[in-house]
A and B are shown apart, each in its own frame.
Chain A
């Protein structure tokens, strides 16, 4: 309401972009930073202990890939989550920064050390040419592995308290997040799936550096090196698999309880139940595929072809993506539990806005009062303020699509019925925030939707067509000259 509305009509308002950036970040961070750093450090240590320069070389080559990817796509998608959320939900990120400042600040410090350590570790690898220097170098790798994990542990806490409704706004305590019943299972699940996927990544990358058949007869060639890696990574896969299963199941069984305890209505939505069921079967299948790969790798490094390693990785990605969606289900209709709805309306101002009108108090709106003449224009502003954070008009998750499902594509839509539906839908669709405007504004919104249905015109956001500053509300704004 108080920020210009960034909006992309065909991408569910643009929310999809945050999702894509965030998923990409998790998919890089978990297997590469959290999973692979400790494994590569372990390889470096093993090579040093057993005097195997070929293993050290291999670890270095794989670290090169990890280094490039994490310091470009990895780091920037992390920042990108923030940059994109700033556009789509400034009210939410702005509020969260004020409340959880110390959480973000600590996260920043850990992130600085993580970046510093990866630069230090990778760029000094070749310079560590004496046993003493090598030992110090391995310690940097250990520190890096710890910091990467800590970054994840902290961010999971930050995500945790966003979900814990009704608590933070009274206690405002950082440590509350740690007592969230989902924290431990979530962190454990992420840790082990990261290790599992990290091990498969190291295994997969090894294939590219051990192609040569040289030295095979003597038992010292790259093929033997491949055997060495595959055999050990299979162990990592099988052990982490157990952890993934245990923590995943714990998470799966903890979530409905938390959901019930936190949900504003005692009912679990159908959408959530289907998510919950899918998570269980997806977890099962993923574990199965990883187990198959792990057991195969124990047998022989040639049993599992390179392409087959992509299957568990894809399954892992799918499972993680599905897992991340839990946050969405848990949070709706709130963006910050029991405090702010996903469209930025505060819980305590809802009744006020419903009685006074949304436009009357908006900063960016063309009109303040709905009249017959300005109805559609007002409806457009109401749509931008109340709906556009999740819905598009004709595109993805579009209001036209939703009403078509209800009222049919080939029939006239009853405007009176639509207005009533809009004002009451949060009762039956419990993931929707209540409509934050008065009766006239609901009618205006319907008029706008009917027009969109007729014209199929797409709606541009403030980033393309700018803003209209609302005329001063009654009582008139004080002028600056009357200020002391």
Chain B
């Protein structure tokens, strides 16, 4: 693989001098899989919220949409908890494999990164409010308030992924880090916005597919969404999945062609194009299902889900292959610098261990005291001139005091004990102090 030379402004840091707990390859496979599980629930949470908001709005004219929105809403509060808890695994893995790039991106977008915590809490609380106040707030002005709560949580849930995306994107381009001045400026690096569009569309498509199965399943109590039959619900959500997936054939290439050259390889093209081909097949199946009769709709659901999983796996792997290639030169330089530093350090420590410990001269030892005791001005403690008067001919008095100082002067802070220097050294210091103090008088 040819590597693109790094820019002069690329920070080459030293890696943490500890081995990875698992082979890097294993961690990478775990990273890709854990991430896909996490993003599945994130997709269902975000896509679900958007659909709930939209259907609740439709429901103002036709109440059956309102019931449908409420039924979708009940899935979100579960999916959102799973999205959070399943996010820990990929975070663990990315921290390990891309320690230097990931944390640096976090720091550079630090305010936004920290805001994730309160923003998610507020979004989740609003989601609960929206879910549990559906009945009590169903009339008049209360209904509008209810819709506003839903809208607010949806907007928050649409915004929060952008923070993560900004980090995932920024970590890829260490050569650009010098340009970053906080979260918003990081959005102009790489291709965050096309990635974001692709993610939102994926969320809607995934949610469509999930809900087609959720409402189409045998055990679903169709009475809770009056006015819809099971095939109708299947069709509605298949339609969401199908048309949004169709749109992905615009967003996908947009994302692909706006990717900075840094990590583009033939391997990436092969993976993405194969993924897209499976995607085309899935799309064809989806449209075939849409045309099917009420009796037959849903027959290919499992097949569609399997194919969809392959598409997602392809896109997830492609994403990783790009990252790997984009960061390869940086990773290599970091490794090189880390090794060089470790070698120099080991050499230094070896020489240091070999050299006999030099005995400190009284002058050097006195440096432990000089920060507070000057020859003839009061710094933090009394000047040496005063000390020399008090302890004239009595260096042991100084030693005794320094081992366990009391507090004599109310205007000065108490002296800390100096017992760690050892009695012999303290004695040397005391003699020097008396000498210096006398000389300064």
Contacts and interface: CB of A to CB of B under 8 A. Distances in A.
Contact of B110 (A105, A461, A469): A461
Interface string A1-20: 11111100000000001000
Given A77-B121, A86-B113, 10 more contacts: A3-B13, A76-B120, A98-B21, A346-B17, A406-B372, A420-B371, A424-B367, A427-B418, A428-B418, A472-B8
B149 interface: no
Contact of A6 (B8, B84, B110, B372): B110
A27 to B, nearest CB: 14
A53 interface: no
Given A95-B18, A104-B92, A463 B108 contact: yes
A346 B177 CA distance: 26
Interface in A100-118: 101-102, 104-105, 108, 111-112, 115-116
Nearest to B21: A101
A82 interface: yes
A86 B180 contact: no
Interface in B83-121: 84-89, 91-92, 95-96, 99-100, 103-104, 106-111, 113-114, 116-117, 120-121
A262 B377 CA distance: 39
Interface in B60-88: 78, 81-82, 84-88
A423 B16 CA distance: 26
Nearest to B34: A108
B349 A463 contact: no
Contacts of B82: 115-116
Interface stretch (B239-247, B277-285, B333-341, B388-396): B333-341
B21 A76 contact: no
Contact of B113 (A73, A87, A119): A87
B177 A4 contact: yes
A72 interface: yes
13 contacts: A72-B125, A72-B128, A76-B121, A87-B107, A352-B344, A417-B370, A424-B367, A466-B177, A466-B181, A467-B108, A467-B177, A469-B11, A480-B5
Interface in A41-78: 68, 71-73, 75-77
B12 interface: yes
B10 interface: yes
A469 B6 CA distance: 13
Given A414-B374, A466-B108, A352 B349 contact: yes
B410 interface: no
B154 to A, nearest CB: 16
B227 interface: no
A86 B106 contact: yes
B182 A75 contact: no
Interface residues of B, number: 85
B309 interface: no
B117 A98 contact: no
A363 B178 CA distance: 12
Contacts, number: 226
Given A75-B85, A463-B109, A469-B10, A351 B348 contact: yes
A281 interface: no
B108 A68 contact: no
Contact of B107 (A3, A93, A351): A3
Nearest to A112: B85
Contact of B178 (A3, A405, A468): A468
Contact of A108 (B15, B88, B103): B88
Contacts of B178: 466-469
Interface in A337-392: 346, 348-349, 351-352, 355-356, 361, 363-364
Contacts of A76: 84, 117, 120-121, 124
Interface residues of A, number: 86
Contact of B96 (A77, A84, A98, A468): A98
Contacts of B148: none
A2 B374 CA distance: 38
A133 to B, nearest CB: 15
B113 to A, nearest CB: 6
Nearest to B119: A76
Given A417-B379, A466-B178, A427 B117 contact: no
A86 B337 CA distance: 23
Contact of A348 (B181, B349, B377): B349
Contacts of B91: 82
A264 B320 CA distance: 45
A314 B309 CA distance: 50
Contacts of B103: 3, 86, 90, 94
Given A407-B379, A463-B111, A115 B85 contact: yes
A17 B114 contact: yes
Nearest to A414: B379
A274 interface: no
B116 A477 contact: no
A170 B374 CA distance: 44
Contacts of B128: 68, 72
Contacts of B99: 90, 94
Pick from B17, B92, B352, B379 the residue with the most CB of A within 10 Å.
Answer: B379
B323 interface: no
Contacts of A187: none
Contacts of A414: 374, 377, 379
Contacts of A104: 92
Interface in B269-307: none
Contacts of B179: 466
Best-buried of A68, A111, A422, A480 by chain B (most CB within 10 Å): A480
Nearest to A361: B341
B345 interface: yes
